[in-house]
């Protein structure tokens, strides 16, 4: 026994379809017999009859109840047709199940879905996570991205239906997938969403064949959205080259990794790269407030979810809108308890460390560490050093960079720091973690506080640049500077024009190809 989703009357599960086809008039449990059924004789099967819902759908064509006279104005006739179409539409809606929403997948392939805005009356909407329910449906609802803002470049391209192949590069929860799905709902092209983890070369070729058929039949282009495009193999990326270049498909890729490192240069040159900004705390607060207005429309927000708590959750999310909505949903669940406090909510939060040992976040952190030492900021340098420790970074990898910094940024300004950095590497190698953390921190602070001189770095760079000039790399070494066997010195008179620095006062002498400098200060670059 089941309950009809339309009339809520009890019906046997085997008869539910026939019950709905009869406009909820037959097969209701508890009646002595069904309408149109004689005593002891079952009703004629409706197998060859058109279902009621289908019959109603056929009659949706706009008709006018009264004939249109010749003197009736064109506007009056159109109004009558519209009124008739509205009556037919309401007739169909009255017999359709009320829980069916207008979820409209746009030619979706694979596991991904591109949805148009759903009706709030959908009872299954509440079962979705808060982050899914709050996904923006229009460009105006997207927060913190100037690309799709009022004066955004990408917004203008979308409005004009001139969407190019592109790569959306940004951190987690910045709106890459959201922008792609909004594009799907606005442009006139066919939209397909795939995931790089379950789509091989064969499946991609099938998509291209379908796109070519669609273009020939309807003239529409096909947009393929690929999430996590940096996980595409080399062969998968190369298969997109010809379709993207010819305009057969428009590729929209989303990635959290630097496209220059993870995407083939040949494919990247055929796409435009758009960098999404990290969301600010203010942007996250706006998103959370919007979610609270949706969840508590009657202003019955729990007192524990006050502006102070929202500000804490916004800062805790670290620019990730998805994380912010997830922890807000957790806080909303906890707020139903009578003994809940702000301290309890804060204690329930779990910080997720985002660090990919093989991705861009590793090198971004090291770059910040290096530049903090170069900028003589020991506090910032220790912060990034601590982050790498917390992420489980290899201490020897950090120590090797300290040796590099000792020569690269300090150089001859303090010659004692290169041995110190080398000693820190030796300590990390011999005692390991966690004890070697202090040795690495010791070297970090010493390098950050030291005077900086890039004279060695700049001098070597100038010499390497000079070697690229025509003829410079082939210059002959002057005779008086060459290495000559002792037996030939007198015969060839190689020492005739050679001048030895120790033979002169203060050890300085001018000669071709071997000028000496009185002191290190003659090299520019000391800070």
How many angstroms separate the CA atoms of 194 and 192, rounded? 7
How many angstroms separate the CA atoms of 334 and 155, rounded? 39
CA distance readout (Å), 101 to 16, 96, 113, 175: 20, 11, 15, 25
CA distance readout (Å), 215 to 86, 210, 221, 222, 430: 35, 9, 6, 8, 65
pLDDT category at 441 given cuts 50, 70, 90 is: very high
How many angstroms separate the CA atoms of 28 and 34, rounded? 8
Fold match, 123-275 / 363-455 = no
Dihedral of CA atoms 133, 136, 141, 146 in degrees, nearest 10, equals 140
Higher pLDDT, 98 or 26: 26
Q: Which of 14-18, 181-185, 210-214, 262-266 has the lowest mean pLDDT?
A: 14-18
- Predicted pLDDT of residue 334: 84
Tell me the per-residue pLDDT of 329-343, one tens digit each, with 9 for 90 and over.
888 888 888 788 888
Strands (E), 200-264: 222-227, 249-255
CA distance readout (Å), 221 to 209, 241, 305: 12, 16, 47
Highest mean pLDDT of the ranges 35-49, 89-103, 393-407, 497-511: 393-407
Residue 471 region by backbone torsions, left for phi larger than 0, else alpha for psi between -120 and 50, else beta: left
The overall pTM is greater than 0.75: no
Q: Which of 36-45, 209-218, 232-241, 381-390 has the lowest mean pLDDT?
A: 36-45
pLDDT category at 436 given cuts 50, 70, 90 is: very high
Question: Phi and psi of 424, rounded to 5°?
Answer: -65, -40
In percent, the amount of the chain with pLDDT more than 70 equals: 71
pLDDT category at 500 given cuts 50, 70, 90 is: low
CA distance readout (Å), 265 to 202, 234, 241, 262, 436: 22, 11, 11, 9, 40
Cβ atoms 327, 347 nearer than 8 A: no
In percent, the amount of the chain with pLDDT more than 90 equals: 16
Average pLDDT, the chain: 76
Q: Which residue intervals of 359-416 are DSSP H helices? A: 360-374, 378-390, 395-405
Residue 136 pLDDT exceeds 50: yes
Neighbour order of strands in the sheet with 222-227: 190-195, 222-227, 249-255, 166-169, 272-275
Average the pLDDT over 39-65 and give the result.
Answer: 43
Helix count (H) and strand count (E) of the chain? 22, 7
Question: What is 363-455's CATH number?
Answer: 1.20.272.10
- Predicted pLDDT of residue 428: 93
- Predicted pLDDT of residue 403: 95
- Predicted pLDDT of residue 260: 83
Burial class (CB in 10 A: 0-12, 13-18, 19+), 225: buried
Residue 35 pLDDT exceeds 70: no
Residue 88 pLDDT exceeds 70: no
Residue 46 pLDDT exceeds 50: no
pLDDT category at 125 given cuts 50, 70, 90 is: low
Residue 71 pLDDT exceeds 70: no
Cβ atoms 444, 402 nearer than 8 A: yes
The CB density around residue 139, as the number of other CB atoms within 10 Å, is 22
- Predicted pLDDT of residue 121: 46
Q: Which of 326-330, 458-462, 465-469, 520-524 has the lowest mean pLDDT?
A: 520-524
Residue 440 pLDDT exceeds 90: yes
Tell me the per-residue pLDDT of 391-422, one tens digit each, with 9 for 90 and over.
888 999 999 999 999 998 998 999 999 999 99
Residue 43 pLDDT exceeds 60: no
- Predicted pLDDT of residue 303: 85
Highest mean pLDDT of the ranges 147-156, 296-305, 483-492: 147-156
Give the start-to-end residue ranges of the domains of the chain. 2-95, 123-275, 281-348, 363-455, 477-527
Classify domain 123-275 at the CATH topology level.
Rossmann fold (3.40.50)
Strands (E), 90-221: 166-169, 190-195
Residue 205 pLDDT exceeds 50: yes
Cβ atoms 169, 255 nearer than 8 A: yes
- Predicted pLDDT of residue 78: 52
pLDDT category at 126 given cuts 50, 70, 90 is: low
């Amino acid at each position: 026994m089941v309950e009809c989703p339309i009339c809520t009357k009890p019906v046997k599960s085997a008869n539910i379809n026939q019950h709905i086809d009869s406009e909820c008039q037959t097969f209701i449990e508890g009646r002595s017999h069904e309408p149109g059924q004689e005593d002891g004789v079952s009703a004629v099967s409706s197998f060859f009859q058109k279902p009621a819902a289908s019959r109603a759908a056929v009659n949706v064509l706009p008709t006018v109840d009264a004939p249109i006279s010749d003197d009736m104005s064109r506007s009056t006739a159109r109004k009558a047709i519209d009124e008739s179409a509205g009556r037919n539409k309401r007739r169909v809606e009255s017999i359709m199940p009320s829980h069916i929403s207008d979820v409209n997948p746009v030619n979706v392939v694979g596991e991904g879905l591109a949805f148009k805005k759903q009706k709030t009356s959908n009872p299954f909407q509440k079962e979705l996570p808060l982050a899914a329910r709050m996904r923006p449906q229009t460009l105006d609802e997207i927060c913190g991205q100037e690309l799709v803002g009022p004066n955004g470049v990408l917004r203008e391209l979308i409005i004009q239906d001139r969407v190019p192949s592109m790569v959306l590069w940004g951190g987690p929860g910045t709106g890459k997938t959201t922008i792609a799905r909004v594009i799907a709902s606005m442009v006139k092209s066919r939209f397909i969403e795939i995931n790089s983890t379950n789509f091989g070369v064969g499946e991609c070729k099938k998509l291209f064949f379908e796109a070519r058929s669609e273009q020939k039949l309807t003239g529409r282009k096909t947009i393929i959205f690929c999430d996590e495009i940096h996980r595409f193999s080399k062969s998968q990326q190369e298969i997109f080259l010809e379709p993207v270049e010819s305009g057969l498909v428009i590729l929209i890729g989303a990635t959290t990794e630097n496209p220059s490192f993870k995407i083939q240069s040949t494919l990247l040159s055929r796409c435009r790269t758009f960098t999404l900004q990290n969301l600010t705390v203010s942007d996250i607060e706006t998103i959370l407030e919007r979610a609270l207005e949706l969840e508590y429309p009657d202003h019955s927000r729990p007192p524990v979810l006050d502006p102070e708590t929202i500000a804490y959750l916004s800062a805790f999310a670290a620019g990730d809108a998805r994380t912010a909505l997830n922890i807000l949903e957790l806080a909303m669940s906890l707020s139903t308890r009578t003994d809940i406090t702000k301290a309890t909510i804060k204690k329930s939060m779990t910080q997720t460390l985002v660090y990919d040992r093989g991705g861009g976040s590793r090198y971004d952190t090291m770059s910040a560490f290096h530049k903090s030492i170069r900028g003589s900021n020991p506090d910032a340098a220790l912060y990034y050093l601590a982050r790498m420790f917390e992420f489980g970074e290899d201490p020897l990898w950090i120590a090797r960079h300290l040796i590099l910094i000792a020569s690269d940024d300090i150089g001859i300004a303090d010659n004692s720091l290169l041995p110190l950095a080398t000693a820190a590497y030796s300590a990390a190698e011999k005692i390991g973690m966690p004890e070697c953390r202090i040795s690495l921190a010791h070297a970090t602070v010493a390098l950050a506080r030291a005077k900086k001189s890039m004279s060695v770095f700049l001098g070597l760079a100038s010499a390497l640049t000079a070697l690229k000039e025509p003829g410079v790399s082939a210059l002959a070494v002057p005779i008086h500077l060459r290495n000559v066997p002792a037996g030939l010195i007198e015969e060839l008179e190689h020492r005739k024009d050679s001048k030895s620095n120790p033979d002169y006062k203060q050890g300085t002498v001018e000669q071709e190809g071997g000028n000496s400098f009185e002191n290190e200060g003659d090299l520019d670059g000391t800070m």
